[in-house]
């Protein structure tokens, strides 16, 4: 057992997303609970259902309007033929023309009545959408506030922890030369740096951090005839809190934002959770991670989707 107290090295370790979580088990559980509580699955399904009904009713109404135009044209044609026949005095098809006009008039009234019914339903659906969007916005605001509060707590905890040295323990096997002593093997900077980097990676995953260490102590070491050493060692790690650590916390908790492009072949009006975000063929909007109701409208037509935003995306709505 011996000390290697004079080793003080600056270490840069590259890390990425398969990092060991910076959150404690309790913090990760809190994040999971908040996500489950504010998933809004029921509201989003209902919103998709209502939007689908609006699309169906709007399409039906457009067809009914076209039907009314055709029936009015037929009515005028039969009316003209009836008038011509009555003026000529033949009156061979008077009853037929008159009956055809009655049927066309009846179909026009039926279509107009159905349009009025559809308009009432559309009004009801739009009112429901407004209420659902308002509920979703309120829920999302609470959701984001809770996650932001959790993030602040994690940041404060880590800053406090990093203000003091982190005691690290490492154990395993290394290969030394059978012709050198265990002390000489561990006093080699390349060896100790490799062990320390491995310990940092095991502790932080692959997150880019800046750190220094000291007081490297080998607590136990046993070498065989081939130079294989079973060891256990301790050292103190000094970590500098930086933007990379904060970015990882934001990613783990889910409060990151993404640039979303809303595209259309027409100059459409775009809405996110019922709120207007712009008009045009390419609208850019910044959205926090989560599920959103996106609506595009153009010339009385609309397309809507429920999008789970977790990366920057380009969404296309054509008319």
pLDDT in tens, 118-140: 999 999 999 999 999 999 999 99
Per the CB < 8 A criterion, the answer to whether 289 and 256 are in contact is: yes
- Supply the mean pLDDT for the chain: 88
Helices (H) and strands (E) in the chain, counts: 6, 10
pLDDT in tens, 152-162: 999 999 999 99
Which residues, 6 or more positions from 160, have their beta carbon under 8 angstroms from its beta carbon?
A: none
More confident residue, 17 or 266: 266
Q: Is the pLDDT of residue 10 over 80?
A: no
Rounded Cα distance between 224 and 264, Å, is: 71
Per the CB < 8 A criterion, the answer to whether 313 and 260 are in contact is: yes
**CA distances in angstroms from 178 to 101, 109, 182, 193, 223, listed in the order given:** 110, 102, 9, 20, 8
| pLDDT of amino acid 73 | 96
Q: Is the pLDDT of residue 196 over 90?
A: no
Q: Hey, where are the domains in the chain?
A: 2-22+165-242, 37-156, 256-317
What length does the chain have? 319
Q: What is the mean pLDDT of residues 282-308?
A: 91
Q: What is the DSSP letter of 225?
A: T
Rounded Cα distance between 226 and 179, Å, is: 9
For 163-256, where are the alpha helices, taking DSSP H only? Answer: 182-186, 189-204, 243-253
CATH superfamily of 256-317: Immunoglobulins (2.60.40.10)
pLDDT in tens, 215-251: 889 999 999 999 999 999 999 999 999 998 999 999 9
DSSP-assigned states of every residue in 104-131? HHHHHHHHHHHHHHHHHHHHHHHHHHHH
């Amino acid at each position: 057992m011996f000390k290697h107290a004079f080793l003080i090295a600056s270490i840069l370790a590259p890390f990425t997303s398969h990092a060991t979580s910076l959150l404690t088990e309790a913090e990760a559980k809190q994040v999971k609970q908040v996500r489950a509580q504010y998933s809004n699955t029921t509201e989003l399904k209902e919103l998709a259902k209502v939007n689908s009904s609006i699309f169906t009713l709007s399409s039906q109404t457009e067809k009914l309007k076209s039907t009314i135009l055709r029936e009015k044209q037929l009515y005028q044609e039969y009316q003209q033929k009836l008038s011509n026949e009555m003026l000529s005095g033949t009156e061979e098809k008077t009853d037929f023309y008159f009956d055809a006009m009655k049927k066309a008039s009846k179909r026009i009234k039926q279509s107009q009545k159905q349009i009025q019914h559809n308009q009432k339903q559309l009004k009801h659906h739009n009112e429901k959408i407004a209420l659902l969007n308002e509920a979703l916005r309120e829920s999302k605001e609470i959701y984001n506030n809770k996650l932001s509060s959790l993030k602040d707590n994690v940041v404060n905890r880590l800053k406090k922890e990093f203000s003091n040295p982190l005691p690290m323990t490492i154990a395993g096997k290394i290969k030394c030369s059978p012709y050198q002593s265990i002390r000489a093997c561990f006093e080699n900077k390349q060896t100790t740096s490799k062990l320390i980097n491995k310990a940092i990676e095991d502790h932080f995953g692959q997150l880019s951090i800046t750190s220094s260490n000291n007081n490297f102590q080998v607590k136990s070491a046993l070498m065989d005839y081939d130079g294989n050493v079973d060891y256990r060692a301790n050292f103190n790690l000094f970590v500098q809190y930086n933007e990379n650590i904060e970015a990882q916390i934001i990613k783990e908790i889910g409060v990151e934002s993404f640039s979303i492009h809303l595209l259309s072949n027409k100059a459409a009006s775009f809405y996110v959770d019922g709120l207007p975000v712009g008009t045009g063929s390419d609208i850019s909007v910044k959205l926090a991670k989560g599920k959103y109701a996106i609506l595009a409208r153009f010339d009385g037509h609309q397309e809507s989707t429920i999008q789970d935003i977790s990366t920057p995306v380009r969404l296309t709505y054509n008319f």
